[in-house]
């Protein structure tokens, strides 16, 4: 009887040690995945900053100042959302459409330029 209990104890200790080794390998794999994803996220953020700068330069060159201001406001809003996460609007709230404002300002600016 004691011999059987001793074998059970040894077997359970062996199983526990195997489970610990397995868990350590799982933890190591998860750390590697998290590190790789964090690096990837940093690379994506760097690329987005570069693209925003390029868009800003193009906007300054191509758009009339009043239209560029609306675009700048929209870009600042997108930066805020990217950093803080999306804002959950209640179903009864209407989303603000900046594109309508830009279209109207662009048309007004084009009409003004044509009349000048």
* pLDDT tens column, 5-15: 888 888 889 99
H or E stretch at 45: helix 2-62
Q: Tell me the three state secondary structure of residue 1.
A: coil
pLDDT for the residue numbered 32: 92
The average pLDDT across 54-83 equals 69
pLDDT for the residue numbered 101: 53
Of 12-16, 31-35, 111-115, give the lowest mean pLDDT range. 111-115
Domain extents for the chain? 10-67+93-115
Return the CA Rg of the chain. 30
The residue assigned the tokens 């709230």 is 93
Q: What is the pTM of this model?
A: 0.43
pLDDT for the residue numbered 16: 92
């Amino acid at each position: 009887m004691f011999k059987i209990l001793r074998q059970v104890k040894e077997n359970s200790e062996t199983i526990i040690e195997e489970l610990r080794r397995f868990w350590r390998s799982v933890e190591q794999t998860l750390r590697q995945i998290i590190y790789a994803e964090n690096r990837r996220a940093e690379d994506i953020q760097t690329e987005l900053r570069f693209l925003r700068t390029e868009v800003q330069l193009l906007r300054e060159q191509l758009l009339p100042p009043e239209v560029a201001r609306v675009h700048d406001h929209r870009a600042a809003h997108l930066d805020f959302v990217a950093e803080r996460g999306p804002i959950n609007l209640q179903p009864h709230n209407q989303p603000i459409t900046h594109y309508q404002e830009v279209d109207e300002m662009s048309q007004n600016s084009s009409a003004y330029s044509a009349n000048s």
